[in-house]
Structure 1
C-alpha cells in the first residue's frame, strides 16, 4: 500500500488538488470528509461532542453548529484539546479502514490538513505533498469559500504549522497561486512521478 499524504494550510487548494487526483483515478481518503460524516446527526461522535460542550453546539434541527464549535475551540486551547480527544481517534480508525480498502491501487492520497502536527499519520504515509499558497491567497480563498472573516482565518492559520516549516518537511511542493489550469498540469506531472515511483518500489520488495 503506497500512500501520499496531501496537506497544506487553509485556503491553499488541498480540496481542489484532491479532486484533480481523483479525476486521474487515484483513490482519495479525506479526513475532513470523514470528520463531517462522524459529526452528522445521529452519529455517536456528535453525541459525545454534545455531552462535553453542551447542546448549544447544535442547530435547531439537531445538526452540529460548526461555526459555534469552531469559535469555541479557537478561543479556548483546552476546549480544542477535548475536541481532538473525541475526534482524532475516530477519524484515524475510519481513515485506516478506507486506506485498506484501496490497498491494491498503485497509490492513494490521504488528504489531511494537520499532517505534520502529529506523528499519527506520518508513520503510514510513503511520501508527503504540500499544496502551498501565499497567506494573501489563503485568506482570499477561505473568505470566499467559507464566509469567514480575515481574523477568523488568521486564527486557523496561527494554529497550523508555519508555512516555512511545512514546506521544509515536505517531500514534494506544489505552489498554487495561479489558475486552476496551472494546478491541473502540476498535479498531472506529480501523478506521473508517483506512478513511476510505485512501479520501482513494487519491483523491489
Structure 2
C-alpha cells in the first residue's frame, strides 16, 4: 500500500510520519530529498545556478533557501522554473527509495505539496491529510522556528487551501488539540483499518 501523507506547514504532518514509521511503514520524505539535492554538490546545484545565477548560491555552495524563497514569493514564474529543476530529481529519488522497501511493506510518501502537484494522486493508493487551522499553524511554526509571523503567512499562502487538501483526503486527522498520545491512537486506528482493507 502506498500512502500519500500531506498537510500544511505546522499541521503536525512530520509527527504523523514518525508514528507511521513506528508502525512499520517505510517513509519517503520528499522535503528531505529536496534539501539533499540542493545541498553543496547536490544534484540540482549546477542547474539551479545556471537558471537563477550566483545570487541563490550560499557561501557553502548549497542553495540559499532564504534568497530562493524571496524569489519564488515575488515571482510565480520563478517557482515554475524551480520546480522544473527539482521535481524530476525528487521523483527519481522517491522511486529509488521506494524500491528498497521490504516485500509487502507499506510506503508512506511525505509530500507537503501533494495536492498542488496533482501527479501524486495517481501514484498513491490513499491520501492522508493532517489538518489544523491557520492560527494554530502560525503559532506552532513561529514557536519552533523563530520565523516572523509574516514569513509563515507567506508560506501558508503558497500552499493549497485547507479546503482543497481536505477534499483530496481519503482520511483526515484534525490535529489541533490532540495530545501526542491521542494522535498516536488516531494514527494506529487508521493504520489498522487500512491494513484490513488492503488484505481484502
Counterparts of 1:1-205 in structure 2, within 5 Å, are 2-102=1-101, 104-178=103-177, 179-200=179-200
Give the superposition deviation at 1:182.
1.8
Report the 3-state secondary structure (helix = DSSP H, G, I; strand = E; otherwise coil) of the residue aligned with 1:101: coil
> Are the aligned partners of 1:8 and 1:131 in contact in 2 as well (CA < 8 Å)?
yes
> Matches of 1:193 and 1:118 in 2, distance apart?
27
> Matches of 1:187 and 1:160 in 2, distance apart?
24
State TM-score, norm by structure 1.
0.91
Specify every segment of 5 or more residues in structure 1 that has no aligned partner in the other structure, as ranges.
Answer: 201-205
The superposition leaves residues 58-114 of structure 1 with CA deviations (integer Å, 9 ceiling, x where unpaired) of 222222221111121111111111101100111111112222222623421111011
Q: Which runs of 4+ in 1 moved over 3 A?
A: none
Give the superposition deviation at 1:183.
1.3
Report the 3-state secondary structure (helix = DSSP H, G, I; strand = E; otherwise coil) of the residue aligned with 1:105: coil
Q: 1:203 aligns to what?
A: none
> Matches of 2:119 and 2:106 in 1, distance apart?
19
Report the 3-state secondary structure (helix = DSSP H, G, I; strand = E; otherwise coil) of the residue aligned with 1:131: strand
The superposition leaves residues 100-157 of structure 1 with CA deviations (integer Å, 9 ceiling, x where unpaired) of 2226234211110111112221111100000011111111112223322221211221
Report the 3-state secondary structure (helix = DSSP H, G, I; strand = E; otherwise coil) of the residue aligned with 1:121: helix
> Matches of 1:87 and 1:170 in 2, distance apart?
25
> Matches of 1:193 and 1:41 in 2, distance apart?
43
**How many corresponding residue pairs?**
199
> Matches of 2:91 and 2:102 in 1, distance apart?
16
Report the 3-state secondary structure (helix = DSSP H, G, I; strand = E; otherwise coil) of the residue aligned with 2:14: helix
Higher deviation after alignment, 25-34 or 55-64: 55-64
Report the 3-state secondary structure (helix = DSSP H, G, I; strand = E; otherwise coil) of the residue aligned with 1:173: strand
> Are the aligned partners of 1:57 and 1:69 in contact in 2 as well (CA < 8 Å)?
yes
State TM-score, norm by structure 2.
0.93
> Are the aligned partners of 2:42 and 2:62 in contact in 1 as well (CA < 8 Å)?
no
> Are the aligned partners of 2:115 and 2:164 in contact in 1 as well (CA < 8 Å)?
no
> Matches of 2:157 and 2:117 in 1, distance apart?
16
